[in-house]
């Protein structure tokens, strides 16, 4: 079965500095991977998705992620954090056999002025 592991439960950055949220996946075949963001008391918003096209995926709000098969990683990055980026971020793999999303445990991003 597919799974994802988010390596950090919390990440703190200063506004204007780079963001790195780490995610490793486990899959017996080429997976479809996603990053979703959840602001407090809100639903989930899709940031970006990887579906075996380009390994570097660009998403909304300046975020991007790179699929690295050799490292089984799909880390999320942003060159410069903004206060509005403070939220919970989920790395997600789709279980294509069963069409369901499998979520990581989440990483809370804190952005200080």
Partner 1 sequence: DAGVTQSPTHLIKTRGQQVTLRCSPKSGHDTVSWYQQALGQGPQFIFQYYEEEERQRGNFPDRFSGHQFPNYSSELNVNALLLGDSALYLCASSLVRQGYTDTQYFGPGTRLTVL
First to last CA, the chain: 41
Give least dist CB 49 to partner 1, A: 6
Q: How far is the CB of 55 from partner 1 (least distance, A)?
A: 18
Q: Which CB, 15 or 101, lies closer to partner 1?
A: 101
Q: Could you tell me the smallest distance in angstroms from the CB atom of residue 104 to partner 1?
A: 6
Closer residue to partner 1 (CB): 8 or 15: 8
Task: Please give the C-alpha separations between residue 84 and each of 12, 38, 39, 48, 78, in angstroms, as whole numbers.
Answer: 13, 12, 9, 17, 13
Nearer to partner 1, 42 or 82 (CB): 42
Minimal distance, residue 11 CB to partner 1, in Å:
16
Query: Dihedrals φ, ψ of 77, to 5°?
Result: -135, 160
The smaller minimum CB distance to partner 1, of residues 54 and 80, is found at 54
What is the distance between the alpha carbons of residues 23 and 91, in angstroms, rounded to a whole number?
6
Task: List interacting residues with partner 1 (CB under 8 A).
Answer: 34, 36, 41-46, 49, 90, 94, 96, 98-106
Separation of alpha carbons 16 and 26, rounded Å: 32
């Amino acid at each position: 079965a597919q799974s994802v592991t988010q390596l950090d439960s919390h990440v703190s950055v200063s506004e204007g500095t780079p963001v790195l949220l780490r995610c490793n996946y486990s899959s017996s075949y080429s997976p479809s991977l996603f990053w979703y963001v959840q602001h407090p008391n809100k639903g989930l918003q899709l940031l970006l998705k990887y579906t075996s096209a380009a390994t570097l995926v660009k998403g909304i709000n300046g975020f991007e992620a790179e699929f690295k098969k050799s490292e089984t990683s799909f880390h999320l990055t942003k060159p410069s954090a903004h206060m509005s980026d403070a939220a919970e971020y989920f790395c997600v793999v789709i279980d294509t056999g069963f069409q369901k999303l499998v979520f990581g445990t989440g990483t809370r991003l804190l952005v200080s002025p």
